[in-house]
Amino acid sequence: MLTILFTLVALAFILVAITKYDIHPFLALFVGAIGFGLLVGMPTSLIIQSIKDGFGGVMGNIGILILLGVTIGVFLEKTGGAMVIAQKVLSWIGEKSVMLAMMLSGYILSIPIFGDSTFIMMNPICKSLSLKSKVPYAAVAIALALGATASHSLVPPTPGPIAAAGIIEANLGSVILWGLLVSSITLIPSYFFIKKFVMGIPLEPKFATDENVEKTGKQPSAFKAFLPIVFPLILIIFASIADYPTKPFGTGALAQTILFVGSPIIALLIGAFLSFFLPEKFDRKLLSSTGWIGDSLVLAAPVILITGAGGVFGKMLQNSGIGDLVSSSLSEAGWGIFLPYIIAFSLKTAQGSSTVAMITTASIIAPLLVTLGLDSEMMRIFTVLAIGSGAIAISHANDSFFWAVTQLTGLTIKQGNLSHSIGTLIMSATAILVIFGLTFLVG
């Protein structure tokens, strides 16, 4: 019981450090992990070994993936490729369905790009389309925000889901496939929530005189814009199919090639190379430390470090033997897939960052997978998605994304809570119910 108590103390320390004292999540997680090891009386040599194994193991599996995913996002954002994708989605759906178009644009763009970056980049389009279509600006903006939220928490290669999949050791291709299914279903009730409750919020778009949009020449074609996102996903999915026990592609050279190019690192590396063709004129300076690659490293570094610290915490928990200690109580409690959801939901609501919530929850749950009955291949996938579902909500005043939405649109705090915050709650609840249903069908 002391070990469980010390686990709660460590979690409380991490949350208070992040939320009240504004300490960086990496430092909070790292110090919290070491403190936990000392509290439970682990030998100092085992604490040091847990740090090495936890950080090194996670970095080897996930660090490069996060960097490559961020790189694709940066090139899409800076070349205007993201804007091209949004315009193409709008042309497919039609200007009369502006709200749906913005929701789907946010959804697609937040697969490689951070959700708040997607919103900041697309908000000027929201303003223009709202006036042009006479659809209330609040509804269009919240549709964009919720669309971005769905894929940000549930579909790799966004850093949070990639990190969770790596820590839980779930098949990334399958996480993408099931994540696309679950996240797309969450858009349905969210859309009707906006139509019913957000359309009536009076909000006039205010246009800035100087939009800080980087000029990079002619925008890429829609084909070139979609390619860095779609092609790696296809490769990863094909590799997952090739790895099925039935071996649909055989075991020869074709299967080995598919498995190689479809491995997440190689697939995302190919996606990153494809993103280099997005600028109108390629300049080698873009690949320098002061160019867009340098920008990608700056954006990716904090997430990579937080993920590594989460890995240390998870390894410390694993080496403490907590899985055996709680097995009797948890095995009879029937928490199952809801435990990772509840932990991620609580962490997200308490400290604001979806990525931190996912990494921390995955680190806590990984040693308990067998105890919870979540250690099969399919249940590992659903565990990652349950963690992502919990990390969707509740987005409120401690979440930077909440402030991006309210400050850029002019929504009051109350309006933001009644629209964006409640929308994330509906999306989160929908996702976990869908996942729970899927566990009965294919779990």
Q: What is the pLDDT of residues 402-440, one digit of tens each?
A: 878 887 788 888 898 899 999 999 999 999 999 999 998
Alpha-carbon span 367 to 380, nearest angstrom: 12
Q: What is the predicted pLDDT for the residue at 205?
A: 64
User: What integer is the mean pLDDT of 339-359?
Assistant: 85
Q: What is the predicted pLDDT for the residue at 211?
A: 42
Contacts of 181 (CB under 8 A, 6+ apart): none
Q: What is the predicted pLDDT for the residue at 385?
A: 97
Q: What is the predicted pLDDT for the residue at 109?
A: 82
370 pLDDT band, cuts 50/70/90, is confident
Q: What is the predicted pLDDT for the residue at 213?
A: 40
107 pLDDT band, cuts 50/70/90, is very high
Alpha-carbon span 263 to 260, nearest angstrom: 5
Q: What is the predicted pLDDT for the residue at 186?
A: 97
pLDDT at 296 over 60: yes
Q: What is the predicted pLDDT for the residue at 329?
A: 53
Q: What is the pLDDT of residues 3-18, one digit of tens each?
A: 778 878 888 888 788 7
Residue with tokens 């994708």: 85
User: What integer is the mean pLDDT of 270-288?
Assistant: 86
Percent of the chain with pLDDT over 70: 91
Q: What is the pLDDT of residues 214-238, one digit of tens each?
A: 444 678 888 988 898 888 878 887 8
pLDDT at 441 over 70: yes
Query: Secondary structure of the chain: what % helix, strand, coil (to 5)?
Result: 80, 0, 20
Is the pTM of the predicted complex or chain greater than 0.75?
no
Q: What is the pLDDT of residues 115-161, one digit of tens each?
A: 777 787 677 677 767 777 788 889 999 999 999 999 999 998 788 89
Q: Which range is least confidently modeled, 25-29, 78-82, 204-208, 366-370?
A: 204-208
Alpha-carbon span 76 to 88, nearest angstrom: 14
SS3 state of residue 200: coil
Contacts of 60 (CB under 8 A, 6+ apart): none
User: What integer is the mean pLDDT of 183-209?
Assistant: 83
pLDDT at 86 over 60: yes
Residue bearing the bigger pLDDT, 159 or 366: 366
Burial class (CB in 10 A: 0-12, 13-18, 19+), 375: middle
